[in-house]
Chains A and B, each alone.
Chain A
Amino acid sequence: MKSVIAQHLVKTYRNGEVRALDDLSLDVEEGTVLSVLGPNGAGKTTTVRILATLLNPDSGQASVGGIDVIKNPEKVREIIGLSGQYAAVDETLTGWDNLVMFGRLYHLGKQASINRANELLERFSLTDSARRPIKTYSGGMRRRLDLAASLIVKPKVLFLDEPTTGLDPRGRQEMWGVIEELVKDGVTLLLTTQYLEEADQLADEIAVIDHGKVIARGTSDVLKKQVGGERLEVVVESQQIQATMEIVSKVSGNKASLDDALRQVSAPVSTGVSALIEVLRELDASGIHPLDVGLKRPSLDDVFMSLTGHVAEEGEQS
């Protein structure tokens, strides 16, 4: 069953001048993680805001947990959790204050709100800082608290909009750990990110979006294959480069390219390991002993580059 369905979403700003979403469709299977991957301004946040009932599309339909987000936003709000790019919590209040307040707003009773707050603080390793105002928290702690606030009533579907943007590597690692735990509990998760590595790490499926459209989707493996399989790479001594280029070109059937600085000869191959073995045999027959040799699968960076024709930009979200 699909927990999230978006069909032909269109959203324009400034009287149609800016098309934030341009016929975007996607869906998320129940209990799985879909990562929406795209550069700044691709339409990631707009998509999340529509699915989380914060924004109406100009046209198109969307449902979450089988409920229409445009016709029945109140019902949708009961089953979703949302954590955005910024920690949307009250910074003058303590972590505990915030969680209890959100518990009350989810209509848990007073005691239940307190219990849930304590539970979540414990789970996200924030118990020690529970009584400190949020503004004294580190970036990573804020994000964890923000995430905790979106989990008060165990949402069926969780939307995380760039959960690690702006965090340092350690904060990011911690956040990934927390998200992986959640996924184990079976929540359906839609996660946006501009970090290719993050999508690779966390998602069952990836939808690559650019200029308001889904331009590719599939598992990370499928996407990598779509870009054109593997590359064979051989590093040799300078004087053997020429001979190696000839061998690699012959075996792969493609023109080999050279990275001068690394003394690395490489070419796309379609036959994988057998190409690797053949190249090694030919090199050996010619008396060439490679310093390094391997098959490299394309990274998501390569995927992005080949799909969009431009590199994924990282930085501030517009």
Chain B
Amino acid sequence: MKNAISDALVITKRQLLQLARVPEVLLFSTIQPVMFVLLFRYVFGGSISTGQPGGYVQLLMPGIFVQTVAFTLAATASGLAEDMGKGLIDRFRSLPISRSALVVGRTLGDSLLNIVVLAVMGTAGYVVGWRPTSGLPKVLLAFLFLLLFGYALSWTGIFAGLSARDARVVQNMSFMITFPMTFLSNAFAPTTGMPRALQYVAEWNPVSTMVAACRELFGVKNQFGVTAGSFPSTHPLVMSLIYMVVIMVIFIPLSVRKYINSSK
């Protein structure tokens, strides 16, 4: 057990070293969400009426946080697919290390990366006028929640990366899933303007429940359309937690098994 943890930490350290050796990766993975903040805040923000004290940016930032965290799974997936393609996974599997070390270490590394990226996002948000009104404990709780969501999602990235054999393909595939998921939600625009059927999809979308939960924790009032009164709209926090647990219960064992049996 002690070895299992220290093995995983060696893998986490590897990921941090990679970032230190190629700092551009970290730079671009933070520039992209900052661009989203600026674009939505100043390009679309003016034409989305919110009726929200503090304006659109109060609604936008939780959406951006969730999207940013969701997008990191593409990097997780492509990173693992690359390790796989280069035979590095084989080497790790031929070492006398704990079977879960590589995947656990990787998800921990992703969480650390998410901390950095969320800190940058939060700062960028503050600069463009984001002001949570709920007090520090709830704000910290929201960020903790975001990290947990990111942790759960990175297991789906691990599974995707181990299942695919080409890093670029799996990266594009991840985006093809995360992109519509983050936009088919309440993250950037209220769902009330969507066709009725789509509103149900959007409100039950885990991205939406996460965004709604964060808004609640930041002290912003959520808006609901036809789904007002449904479980995810009244209990976004609980619903999000349920989603995270479900994702982890499914994908942690699947990923570990996939890793152990890869190419068996």
Contacts and interface: CB of A to CB of B under 8 A. Distances in A.
- Whether A and B are associated in the same complex: the answer reads yes
Interface of A: 49, 52-56, 74, 77-78, 80, 82, 84-94, 97, 101-102, 104-107, 133, 149
A188 B136 CA distance: 62
Contact of A106 (B17, B93, B95): B95
B14 A88 contact: no
B10 A52 contact: no
Given A84-B91, A105-B97, A94 B21 contact: yes
CB-CB nearest 9 A-B residue pairs: A88-B87, A88-B91, A77-B96, A104-B10, A78-B96, A82-B94, A86-B87, A92-B18, A88-B88
B264 A101 contact: no
Interface of B: 3, 6-7, 10, 13-14, 17-18, 21-22, 86-88, 90-97, 101, 263-264
B94 A54 contact: yes
Contacts of A86: 86-87
A55 B94 contact: no
A97 B3 CA distance: 20
8 contacts: A54-B90, A54-B263, A77-B95, A88-B91, A90-B18, A97-B21, A105-B101, A107-B3
Nearest to A89: B88
Contacts of A85: 87
Nearest to A104: B10
Contact of B264 (A56, A88, A92, A105): A56
Given A82-B91, A85-B87, 11 more contacts: A87-B86, A87-B87, A90-B18, A92-B22, A93-B21, A101-B10, A105-B7, A105-B10, A105-B95, A106-B96, A107-B6
A54 B259 CA distance: 11
A74 B3 CA distance: 13
A102 B90 contact: no
Nearest to B95: A105
B10 A74 contact: no
A55 B86 contact: no
A87 B87 CA distance: 8
A102 B87 CA distance: 15
Nearest to B92: A105
Nearest to A149: B91
Nearest to B91: A88
Contacts of A77: 94-96
Contacts of B13: 101
Nearest to B9: A104
B18 A53 contact: no
Nearest to A86: B87
A291 to B, nearest CB: 52
Given A55-B263, A92-B21, A93-B18, A102 B94 contact: no
Given A93-B21, A101-B10, A105-B10, A84 B87 contact: yes
A84 to B, nearest CB: 5
Nearest to A53: B94
- Most chain A Cβ neighbours within 10 Å, of B22, B93, B263: B93
Contacts of B3: 107
A92 B22 CA distance: 7
Nearest to B262: A54
A85 B86 CA distance: 10
A44 to B, nearest CB: 15
Contacts of B22: 92
B93 A54 contact: yes
A244 B6 CA distance: 76
